[in-house]
Structure 1
Amino acid sequence: MSLDPAALARAADRGPFTRVVVARAQGSTPREDGAEMLVWADHVEGTIGGGALEFSAIAKARGGLTGIEKIPLGPAMNQCCGGAVVLGYERMDRTTVSQITGDWHARPLTPGTPEPLAVTRALARARDRGETPPLLVENWLIERVAPPATPVWVWGAGHVGRALIGALSPLPGLALSWTDSGAERFPDMIPEGVTPLIAENPADLISLARTDARHFVLTYSHSLDLELCHRLLAHGFGGLGLIGSDSKWVRFRKRLAALGHSDAQISRIACPIGDPTLGKHPQAIALGVATGLVKELNAAQAATGKGKRAG
């Protein structure tokens, strides 16, 4: 996991908060290194695994704890995991979030602590050799700064569109745009971080999308679906999924070919979408689509090279 400056900036708009991060996980633990939770006096976002550990961490964050806390889960929390974690507590606000720049962000969990030589060397190896530094060095956190969010466009606010937004909106690293032809087609509550876009003809919004965006076409109209696919093939995209049956896809392939698109271009569209073994319920389709997208993005991140972890 990595620091997401854009997400933290949105969090800071709510007011100062304490970020609780799993700085080190050993043995069987609820979450992995880098899992985070943001804690305000009246609100919590994210999770470090739930249960007694999380309940205790929330209370300590609200009590003003900063620095590191070492917790053997069995003896201290009576949890059956049997492992141990080191939690880092850091206060954040708009100023501290604005200081997150570059590829790696290193800072002490105890403010004012001089940078240890081990941190300096770990950062140098990360930048010069591509080695991934330890997350926790003495009482300093070193985290990769997340790249800009991946743009994802969901076309259609019907049952499947709503289910897909519900599945994708909690995930980090996504910039979600949600389109339809009228405000009445959207739910009363739109998840935080989702940008609703309305146009009489939603296809007119395609020019606003980045050419590397992922798109999921799920509208109420086959003719609109076809127009979206046609225009997106000309505009460019990082991925394009179309809801529909095998027979719908056969018809669409013929119509897109008649509109001048090559077989190679048309074959970049995924149809049907989701995992057919999960069924056709809107939530099942959304689950399959979201799982596929997460796998794709994780594989792409791994391919860009995490580097080997430094000792």
Structure 2
Amino acid sequence: MSLDREALGRAAARGPFLRVLVAETQGSTPREAGAAMLVGADWAEGTIGGGALEFEAMARAREILARGGPGRLERIALGPARGQCCGGAVTLAYEALAAETVAGLAPGIWARPVAGASAGEMPLGVRRALARVRDRGEAPALLIEGWLLEAVAAPARALWIWGAGHVGRALVSVLAPLPGLAISWADSGAERFPETIPAGVTPLIAANPADLVPLAPRAADHLVLTYSHALDLELCHRLLGHGFGSLGLIGSATKWARFRARLAGLGHDSAQISRIACPIGDPTLGKHPQAIAVGVASALIRGMSAGARPRQKKDRAG
């Protein structure tokens, strides 16, 4: 699990906040090590598992914020006394992250002492863990001798969703909370979007949304699912000429056969046309918008995980 710089940047823009990280787990716990939430004086986002554990952690984080004190490590035993059915334990790290710290994060492994740990020479265990990352691509433990080691994600993956209808809305609701995505959401009018758009999603409006294609990065991923087959076809045509990382089109086998013929007639060769995935999602899950969204999200997560497997080339301590 990588640290999400975009989410941290948005949090820093709102003012002082604490990041609460599940640094270690033992036994049965609500969330895995690496799960985190961000807590401000009057807001919070993310989750470390809900229930009494999360409620207490939010209260503790706000106490630390109010006194302007350093962060801390806290080991918490779970069980009936806290209304938790889990019987394990978690170690939580509370960190106050300044805006300049967030802005200076670079892809790689970010190693730093938790408040209260020695900020002097890096412990031998930490140095060995970083060497294993460099030499073998081995993911380090999050917490080693009072130091936190986390992977800082590469810049967000650009995802363009074309269409704000039922399927577009379902996709955004499922995909927006995922780290590592920068979502652009395009349609022909403001009235086609919901009143509330999730953080990290950029709405784009044009009378002819296909005119927005030149704004997309050439390596962006695209999902085409507008209200119009004619617009879907024009988007596919323009994106084939523009370039893309991946392109998914909603539709049936009949629609795709018709599109293949029309795109060929517009001058695109079969190899390029075959890069378009149609239908999108997992057909075995059904055609409900939310089912389509779950299938698409699953494919994206698998693709992002596969792309994160190459060994880290740069490590840094900060």
TM-score between both structures, scaled by the size of structure 2: 0.90
Q: CA deviation at 1:100?
A: 2.2
Deviates more, 1:142-151 or 1:198-207: 198-207
- Quick one: structure 1 residues 91 and 232, their matched pair in 2 at CA, closer, same or farther if it must change by over 3 Å? same
From 223, 234, 243, the counterpart of 2:230: 223
Q: CA RMSD in A?
A: 2.0
SS at structure 2 position matched to 1:151: strand
Asked if 1:281 is matched to 2:297, the reply is no
Distance 2:215 2:185 in 1: 12
SS at structure 2 position matched to 1:55: helix
Number of residue pairs matched?
306
Asked if 1:105 is matched to 2:101, the reply is no
Deviates more, 1:130-139 or 1:243-252: 130-139
Deviates more, 1:113-122 or 1:149-158: 113-122
Deviates more, 1:65-74 or 1:238-247: 65-74
Contact 2:52 2:84 (C-alpha < 8 Å) held by counterparts: yes
Distance 1:102 1:176 in 2: 20
Show the counterpart of 1:211.
218
Q: What does 1:125-274 align with in structure 2 at a 5 Å threshold? A: 125-274=132-281
Q: What does 1:1-20 align with in structure 2 at a 5 Å threshold? A: 1-20=1-20
Q: CA deviation at 1:78?
A: 5.0
Q: CA deviation at 1:128?
A: 4.6
Distance 1:87 1:228 in 2: 47
String of CA shifts for 1:45-81, please: whole Å, max 9, x gaps. 1011111211111111111172111122237635332
Distance 2:104 2:258 in 1: 53
What are structure 1's unaligned runs of at least 5 residues?
none
Distance 1:152 1:119 in 2: 36
String of CA shifts for 1:273-302, please: whole Å, max 9, x gaps. 222232222222222222221222223323
Q: CA deviation at 1:129?
A: 4.5
What are structure 2's unaligned runs of at least 5 residues?
65-69, 314-318
Distance 2:107 2:308 in 1: 17
Asked if 1:298 is matched to 2:305, the reply is yes
String of CA shifts for 1:189-248, please: whole Å, max 9, x gaps. 211111111122211211111122110001111111001111111222111111111211
Show the counterpart of 1:69.
74
Deviates more, 1:69-78 or 1:274-283: 69-78
- Calculate percent identity across the aligned residue pairs: 66
Distance 2:195 2:6 in 1: 25
- Quick one: structure 1 residues 88 and 165, their matched pair in 2 at CA, closer, same or farther if it must change by over 3 Å? same
String of CA shifts for 1:13-45, please: whole Å, max 9, x gaps. 111111010111122211111110111121111
Deviates more, 1:115-124 or 1:231-240: 115-124
String of CA shifts for 1:248-277, please: whole Å, max 9, x gaps. 111111111111222222121111122223
**AA matched with 1:34:** G
Deviates more, 1:126-135 or 1:44-53: 126-135
- Quick one: structure 1 residues 75 and 167, their matched pair in 2 at CA, closer, same or farther if it must change by over 3 Å? closer
SS at structure 2 position matched to 1:6: helix
Distance 1:131 1:301 in 2: 12
Contact 1:30 1:49 (C-alpha < 8 Å) held by counterparts: yes
Distance 1:306 1:145 in 2: 10
TM-score between both structures, scaled by the size of structure 1: 0.92
Show the counterpart of 2:44.
44
